[in-house]
Amino acid sequence: MSMVTLPGLKELIESISRERNLPRLAVQSAIREALLKGYERYRRAQNLERKQFEEDYFDNFEVELDIDEEGFRVLSTKTIVEEVNNSDHQISLDEVQQVAPEAQLGDSVVLDVTPDQGEFGRMAAMQTKQVLAQKLRDQQRQMVQEEFQDLESTVLQARVLRFERQSVILAVSSGFGQPEVEAELPKREQLPNDNYRANATFKVYLKKVSQGQQRGPQLLVSRADAGLVVYLFANEVPEIEDEVVRIVAVAREANPPSRYVGPRTKIAVDTLERDVDPVGACIGARGSRIQVVVNELRGEKIDVIRWSPDPATYIANALSPARVDEVRLMDPETRQTHVLVAEDQLSLAIGKEGQNVRLAARLTGWKIDIKDKAKYDHAGEDAKFAAARAKYQLEEDEIEQEELEYEDDNQQDLEEESFEPSDDE
């Protein structure tokens, strides 16, 4: 059988496998596919008079690699027929029976159709090279997808490789001993206090594994996602891991709208065990546990508060470290509340540029309006909300009445349409 030699094939497979962290079999498969595309290009060049081949024309061709001899062959599977209409797909019974007398019509035979060494031209070689590069990228993306698709919403250890525009390109691994792959940390997912110097290491939250063919890393990671905070506490607090303490809600502002305000997180925790302090468990003796989390987040301020099924208590806790005197649930339907504090607690409750009350509102799901207790008009505010509620209820009643009238009219129309007098009447 003839063969086109490929000097250095064995070393090429080894080096690609090493550099791209791909199995040798995957590399060999990519090379076979690329060589077949190169053969197609060679055949098209040989048949210039033919405008085009059908899409599946070359489906019966395959490339066989000879790793030891460092070369390849092209094989074609042909059907045995009485009269040949297409020599690429068919072979005559008479021709086959000269070497295989037992052959029958309809049988298939595999033939060597490898071109001569010199015939596999420059254009075919270029086509092979381009296709190989694409196939290797596809193999790599498929491997990354299979390896990381079950790791979405988990935390990975990352190492800084380089910068691309405003993104940081990191090296991450799916586990100990596994090869590293690239991940993208976009500007919006970075922390302002992080120092992304070369080879610096961080924990990152895996947000998304892309399945498309777009350029760049498939893995999108974050340092700003609330999921990272949840992971760090679960990793540091055994009571959370053992489900004695649970994290009920997290509100995080990793990239505040103003550079004069630092990153901050509020986390609400709870427990069903009477003898367990969930807040104390998260903070640890002398703040030892929470300090580990703060250090990983480069000094981000973290408030751990006790969750409560009572909205007023929960809202008061969420505004920590401010001391709250009274929480008035003005409208439970629209979840609006007035929180009364002493004058010296106003700025603390609101927070720098509104950050504290903003995070408390996100954490609890209530619209929080901070009021000075000394200046608060209880009767006036009650009257205002009562009037607003009455107006809202009146509008709801009018809408309901209109819907009922519309349904009655429709029903009457249907009854009139369904009445048909008989011929006798």
pTM of the model: 0.68
For residues 33 and 60, membership in a common domain is answered with yes
DSSP 367-386: EEEEEEGGG--HHHHHHHHH
Q: What is the mean pLDDT of residues 283-295?
A: 96
Residue 301, in any domain of the structure:
no
Among 111, 145, 179, the domain boundary falls at 145
User: What is the percent of the chain where pLDDT is above 90?
Assistant: 48
Q: Provide the pLDDT for residue 425.
A: 45
Asked if residue 97 has pLDDT above 60, the reply is yes
- Which residue pairs, CB below 8 angstroms and at least 24 apart, start in 162-168? 162/198, 163/196, 164/216, 168/196
> For position 422, what pLDDT does the model report?
52
Q: Which residue has the higher pLDDT, 15 or 308?
A: 308
Q: How many domains does the chain contain in total?
A: 4
Q: Which residue has the higher pLDDT, 298 or 217?
A: 298
291 within domain boundaries = no
Could you tell me if 77 and 156 lie in one domain?
Answer: no
Last residue of a domain, one of 222, 246, 278: 222
333-355, pLDDT tens digit by residue? 889 999 999 999 999 999 999 99
- Cβ neighbours for 176, distance < 8 A, ≥ 6 positions apart: none
Most confident of 21-35, 80-94, 220-234, 403-417: 220-234
Same domain, 208 and 323: no
The pLDDT score that the predictor gives to residue 223 is 97
Same domain, residue pair 8 and 137: yes
pLDDT at 102 over 70: yes
Q: Tell me whether residue 241 is in a domain.
A: no
CATH number at residue 178: 2.40.50.140
Question: Tens digit of pLDDT for each residue in 51-66?
Answer: 567 778 888 999 999 9
Beta bridge pairs of residue 124: none
Q: Please give the angle made by the CA atoms of 191, 143 and 217, to the nearest 5 degrees.
A: 30
**168 and 216 co-located in one domain:** yes
Whether residues 213 and 331 fall in one domain: no
202 alpha carbon, distance to own chain's centre: 19
Same domain (yes/no): 158, 200: yes
**Residue 408 or residue 31, greater confidence:** 31
Residues 200, 154: Cα–Cα separation, whole Å:
20
Across 44-48, 117-121, 212-216, least confident range? 212-216
Q: Hey, which bits of 258-352 come out as E strands?
A: 264-271, 301-306, 326-331, 336-341
Tokens representing residue 320 in the block: 């920590």
Q: Name the residue range of residue 350's domain.
A: 317-375
Q: Which one of 21-30, 88-97, 236-245, 255-264 scores highest in mean pLDDT?
A: 236-245
399 shares its domain with 366 = no
Give the CATH number, domain containing residue 50: 3.30.1480.10
The residue among 189, 204, 222 that closes a domain is 222
With respect to residue 275, please indicate whether it lies within any of the assigned structural domains. Answer: no
Share of the chain above pLDDT 70, in %: 88
Examine the domain organization and report whether 122 and 205 are in the same domain. no
**Predicted confidence band of residue 412 (pLDDT cuts 50, 70, 90):** low
**CA 264/CA 202 separation, integer angstroms:** 18
- Please check whether residue 369 is in contact with residue 327, taking contact to mean a CB–CB distance below 8 angstroms: no
Give 264's contacts (C-beta < 8 A, 6+ positions apart): 252, 253, 256, 300, 301, 302, 303, 355, 356, 359
Residue 358 sits in a domain of what CATH number? Answer: 3.30.300.20
Tell me the mean pLDDT in the region 172-176: 79
The answer to the question of residue 311 being in a domain is no
Q: Judge if 9 and 119 occupy the same domain.
A: yes
Is 123 domain-assigned? yes
| pLDDT category of residue 22 using cuts at 50, 70 and 90 | confident
Same domain, 217 and 112: no
**Residue 8 and residue 141 share a domain:** yes
Q: What is the mean pLDDT of residues 216-223?
A: 87
- Identify whether 276 is part of a domain: no
pLDDT tier at 189, thresholds 50, 70, 90: very high
Task: Answer yes or no: is 423 within a domain.
Answer: no
Q: Which residues pair with 167 in a beta bridge?
A: 164
Rounded Cα distance, 101 and 119, in Å? 33
